Structure 1
Amino acid sequence: GQAESTTSRATANLDLVRGVASTARSLTESIAEIGVKMRHSGAIVERAVAEAGRTDNMVRGLAEAAGRIGEIISLINDIASRTNLLALNATIEAARAGEAGKGFAVVAGEVKHLANQTAKATEEISTQVGEIQSATQNAVTAISGIRDIVGEVSGIAGTIDASVKQQIAAMQEISGDVDEVSSGSGAITDNVASIGKAASETGEASISVHHASIDVAEQARLLAANANAFIDHIRNG
């Protein structure tokens, strides 16, 4: 009756609590797995940041080297200009010398031609170096932007990882509390079942006592009737 109904409700509550405990454990495991993946992602991001830094240093070094090449080219161009001027002066002097200066004039012309070729080559190299410097500067800017973005991603990943750790701790605490409730509910269910069994046994014992009391009352009535009959027999002789 009532004891069995109470036991059924307690058993149903226990099943519900155990289901919640199982769900809490599954959720804890899922969050823990997310935490592992986030830490792995964080490690990848850190490597990306380091690699971006190394690449940035390499590109900056290339830009500096290109700058030094540009300085050397400027120096060579300056020397070529002076050589060209000297060759021009030598040609003028050779012309003044007349027939005696013809051989020197040929040499001066060759020197001037070589100086012009050098100036043209240095101009082309200077243009290429300028393009390299522009490209490296663009690369430096792009890498710096990438490094900043990766740094932001790293910060976000760190924040998520910290949040996941807090959630894991909270879920572990909840899971522990639910396990305690489950254990307590199990004990309560067992106690309710024991009480129900005891109540049933008590009911059966009460019925037995009731039947026994009826038998005793009947025997007492018969005994009283026999005693009265015996007393009447003695009185009437």
Structure 2
Amino acid sequence: MFATLTRKAQPPATARALDALRASVMVADNDLVIRYMNHAAIKLMQEAEAELKRDLPNFSAARLIGSSIDVFHKNPGHQRGMLSALKVPHAATIRVGGRAFDLLVTPLVEQGQRTGFVVEWADARERLLNVDFAGQIAAIDRSQAVVEFGLDGTILDANANFLKALGYTIEEVRGRPHSMFVDAATRDSPDYTTFWDKLRRGEHHVGQFRRLGKAGRVVWIEGAYNPIFDASGKPCKVVKFATDISLQMRLLADLKTLIDSNFTEIDGAIAQSTAEAHSASGAADETAQSVQQVAASAEQLAASIGEIAQSMARSRSATDDAFTQTVSVADNTESLASAAQAMSSIVGLIRNVASQINLLALNATIEAARAGEAGKGFAVVASEVKNLAVQAAQATQQISREIDGIQATSATVASALGAIRDAVTTVRESVAATASAVEEQSVVTRSMSASMHNASAAVSTVSGNIAGISGAVAQAAEAVAKTREAAEVLVR
């Protein structure tokens, strides 16, 4: 009958019955033309219209009745082929525009002939979320210990991980109070009462807990007590998700024991290392000061040697000048000796001339005597000439004696100058050798000064490194103390 009636033509009772349904119902004829939609279906399409338009731009909830169901498909050929062969109800989930819908398509048959289809629509979001939640819960159930409590602390259920950690079976714990897992002191403490009061108010609690398993075995768990709320927002039960950390706690306890047992030795070693580092730092500082003083002294020595080198260079220059002057004086002395020798020859010549004059004067005297009175004036002249010759001879002898003295003095001076020249040559060679040695010493001293400065810098670096080591030892001591405190906190 749905295939032949529109929504307006439905009998009032039928329309009211369909509109009263919470399910969204859509009716299409055999040609897949939508003929009817109840209120729930219309509301669902109106709510989803904006999202459906993302994939179906021409979609309109107001124009669905009278249109083909092809409007829900980008490729309606596949859908039509499937529906044409449909003889039994078919369930499917479709996704359009970010929305997911669960569909149940049921063929309508009258007198053996299919007359249309009834399509039930349902928003699949909650179902898919529930599927996802169920998967997450299953994953949690596989990896963690899970136990459920009533608000009064009664155990409602527990999974295998929880039962294995505590060593019980489900029959041994179901219906029992949570207090079976704690010692008497904890159970009777105000903190335990406050703990459950907060859970009943809906406050969750996270932490590490010491619990008692079967036969009083201590079990450490890390987890969270989570109140679960009902539809009215009130807590209805508590679910605990936990992990067994007993092994880790035992390791931490062993660590604390190990730290406690070795802490005195570690303290002593660190104290000794600190003292030695301080001592080494002081020694390095003293060494650095000494090296700096040596470097300064070496620098002063280098400066002094530099000045000596300069003085030796000047001495060498002066010695070279003295050598040159000595050579020059020697040359002049030799020239003087040569001149004296030449003067000896001239004196000899003068002596010969004086001798000839004397001889002539003698001859003239003899001739004047022969001449008698006529030769008296000539005799006077001859006498004077003879006197002059005698005087010339005497002067010549004196000049000869002086020249001999000059020659002797020249020879002595030449000999002395030769000795001086030899001594100056020796001094010159010594000054040259000394200047070369001083220059080499100056280079070595400068290198030593540079090396001492480098050594001073290296010692300063060592001093700084030792100070860093001292600081590192202090940090290590602090870290050990913190480690001990942390171990004590973790073991509590």
Normalization by structure 2: what TM-score? 0.42
1:86 to 2:360 alignment: yes
1:167 to 2:464 alignment: no
Matched ranges for 1:1-237 at <5 A: 1-217=275-491, 219=492
Tell me, in whole angstroms, the C-alpha distance in 2 between the residues paired with 1:56 and 1:18: 56
Tell me, in whole angstroms, the C-alpha distance in 1 between the residues paired with 2:388 and 2:287: 102
Q: Which amino acid aligns with 2:360?
A: L
* Structure 1, 86-95 or 112-121: larger mean CA deviation: 86-95
Kindly provide the CA deviation profile for residues 179-214 of structure 1, in whole angstroms up to 9, marking residues without a partner as x.
Answer: 222222222221121121121022112112212322
Partner residue in 1 for 2:250 = none
Q: Which has the higher helix share?
A: 1
Q: Which amino acid aligns with 2:309?
A: G
Return closer, same or farther for 1:108/1:3 CA change in 2, 3 Å cut-off.
Answer: closer
Identity %: 36
Q: Which amino acid aligns with 1:32?
A: G
SS at match of 1:16: helix
Kindly provide the CA deviation profile for residues 78-123 of structure 1, in whole angstroms up to 9, marking residues without a partner as x.
Answer: 0110111122122223323333333332322222222111111111
Q: Which amino acid aligns with 1:7?
A: S
SS at match of 2:454: helix
Partner residue in 1 for 2:54 = none
Kindly provide the CA deviation profile for residues 39-92 of structure 1, in whole angstroms up to 9, marking residues without a partner as x.
Answer: 111111112112222222222222222222222121111011011112212222
Larger relative CO (CA 8 A, sep 6+): 1 or 2?
1
Q: Which amino acid aligns with 1:29?
A: A
Measured after TM superposition, the shift of residue 147 of structure 1 is 1.9
Q: Which amino acid aligns with 1:120?
A: Q
* Structure 1, 172-181 or 68-77: larger mean CA deviation: 172-181
Q: Which amino acid aligns with 2:351?
A: N
Partner residue in 2 for 1:225 = none
Tell me, in whole angstroms, the C-alpha distance in 2 between the residues paired with 1:12 and 1:52: 58
Q: Which amino acid aligns with 1:101?
A: G
SS at match of 1:144: helix
Q: Which runs of 5+ in 1 are unaligned?
A: 220-237
- Compute the RMSD of aligned alpha carbons: 1.8
Q: Which amino acid aligns with 1:133?
A: Q
Tell me, in whole angstroms, the C-alpha distance in 2 between the residues paired with 1:188 and 1:140: 70
Q: Which amino acid aligns with 1:167?
A: Q
Q: Which has the larger radius of gyration?
A: 2
Q: Which amino acid aligns with 1:14?
A: A
Normalization by structure 1: what TM-score? 0.84
Q: Which runs of 5+ in 2 are unaligned?
A: 1-274
Work out the number of aligned pairs and report it: 218
Partner residue in 2 for 1:233 = none
Return closer, same or farther for 1:106/1:6 CA change in 2, 3 Å cut-off.
Answer: closer
Measured after TM superposition, the shift of residue 162 of structure 1 is 0.8
Measured after TM superposition, the shift of residue 156 of structure 1 is 0.9
Tell me, in whole angstroms, the C-alpha distance in 2 between the residues paired with 1:70 and 1:58: 18
Tell me, in whole angstroms, the C-alpha distance in 2 between the residues paired with 1:36 and 1:76: 59
Q: Which amino acid aligns with 1:81?
A: S
Tell me, in whole angstroms, the C-alpha distance in 1 between the residues paired with 2:454 and 2:380: 108
Q: Which amino acid aligns with 1:85?
A: L
Q: Which amino acid aligns with 1:137?
A: A
Tell me, in whole angstroms, the C-alpha distance in 1 between the residues paired with 2:396 and 2:375: 31
Tell me, in whole angstroms, the C-alpha distance in 1 between the residues paired with 2:365 and 2:387: 12
